[in-house]
């Protein structure tokens, strides 16, 4: 009776090692794909909220549910007529404050030149400081309104598809209120799900080779 043949493949333990490498790779991929940590979610959010940085009245919403948007695309805007009126008023106030400050500085310069008394110089210096403070405050208000006007257009923070539009024309919104929810085109989770399935199958393939080849 002929002896039973036995096939031994050199290095079958290598297949076992490879199998366990793919097993742990599968666990890692499953965790990131289905149970992401807070760190992963921050880097790869499942949804992205778009909101204005300033309160106001929505003038237009340029997207609808299921629309595809590019990063930086304007998706809504606020009415700016009121802001424009406030901006012009603030601009006028700043111009007047600046003129007054320049006048007070000139008065201080002339007082020093003409040998005014210490009390007189002190009074003028105090007026200069008041004018400086008023000018700084009006300039800050002007800059704030300029930023608000520049922020009246809401740009998409990410490319993707519109999941939900939470406001409409003439809606009042506060700073930070969600206007649109976007499904970002991030293939991170799809990649990890595919990797998990591939690693799971590879684990069983290498384990089978190891068992059959011993």
CA distance linking residue 87 with residue 141, whole number of Å: 9
pTM of the model: 0.68
Same-domain status, 191 and 97: no
CA distance linking residue 127 with residue 19, whole number of Å: 82
Query: Of 151, 172, 199, which residue is a domain's last?
Result: 151
Same-domain status, 133 and 158: no
Same-domain status, 119 and 31: no
- The angle at the Cα of 145, spanning 90 to 99, to the nearest 5 degrees, equals 30
| Residues with pLDDT less than 50, the chain | 1, 5
Backbone angles phi, psi at 44, to 5 degrees: -130, 75
- What pLDDT shows up at residue 193? 94
Q: Taking the alpha carbons of 197, 198, 202, 203 in that order, is the dihedral positive or negative?
A: negative
- What pLDDT shows up at residue 212? 83
- What pLDDT shows up at residue 9? 55
CA distance linking residue 213 with residue 13, whole number of Å: 10
Do the bridges between strand 74-78 and strand 153-155 make them parallel or antiparallel, or are there none, so unpaired? antiparallel
Residue numbers of the domain that contains 90: 80-151
Query: Of 107, 127, 151, which residue is a domain's last?
Result: 151
Query: Of 131, 151, 171, which residue is a domain's last?
Result: 151
**CB-CB contact of 61 with 78 (8 Å):** no
Same-domain status, 160 and 72: yes
Same-domain status, 121 and 98: yes
The 10s digit of each residue's pLDDT in 71-127 is 999 999 999 998 899 999 999 999 999 999 999 999 999 989 888 888 988 999 999
Same-domain status, 145 and 178: no
Domain CATH number, residue 60: 2.40.50.100
Same-domain status, 71 and 106: no
Backbone angles phi, psi at 182, to 5 degrees: -115, 140
Same-domain status, 40 and 50: no
Same-domain status, 71 and 174: yes
- What pLDDT shows up at residue 1? 46
Same-domain status, 161 and 177: yes
- What pLDDT shows up at residue 11? 58
- What pLDDT shows up at residue 129? 95
Same-domain status, 94 and 138: yes
Same-domain status, 98 and 138: yes
Could you give the number of structural domains in the chain? 3
CA distance linking residue 69 with residue 180, whole number of Å: 11
Domain CATH number, residue 100: 1.10.287
CA distance linking residue 145 with residue 138, whole number of Å: 11
**CB-CB contact of 74 with 155 (8 Å):** yes
């Amino acid at each position: 009776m002929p002896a039973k043949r036995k096939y031994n493949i050199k290095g079958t333990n290598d297949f076992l090692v490879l199998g366990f490498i793919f097993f742990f790779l599968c666990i890692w991929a499953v965790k990131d794909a289905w149970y992401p940590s807070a760190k992963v979610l921050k880097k790869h959010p499942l949804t992205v909220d778009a909101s204005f940085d300033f309160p106001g009245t929505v003038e237009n919403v340029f997207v609808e549910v299921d629309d595809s948007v590019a990063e930086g695309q304007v998706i809504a805007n606020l009415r700016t007529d009121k802001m424009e009126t406030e901006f012009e008023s603030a601009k006028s106030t700043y111009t007047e404050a600046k003129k007054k400050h320049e006048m007070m500085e000139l008065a201080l310069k002339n007082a020093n030149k003409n040998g005014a008394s210490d009390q007189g110089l002190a009074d003028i210096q105090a007026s200069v400081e008041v004018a400086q403070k008023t000018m700084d405050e009006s300039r800050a208000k002007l800059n704030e309104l300029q930023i608000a006007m520049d922020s009246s257009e809401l740009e998409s923070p990410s490319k993707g598809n519109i999941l939900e539009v939470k406001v409409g024309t003439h809606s009042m919104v506060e700073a930070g209120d969600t206007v649109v929810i976007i499904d970002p085109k991030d293939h991170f989770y799809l990649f990890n799900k595919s990797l998990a399935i591939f690693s799971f199958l590879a684990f069983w393939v290498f384990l089978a080779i190891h068992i059959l080849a011993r």
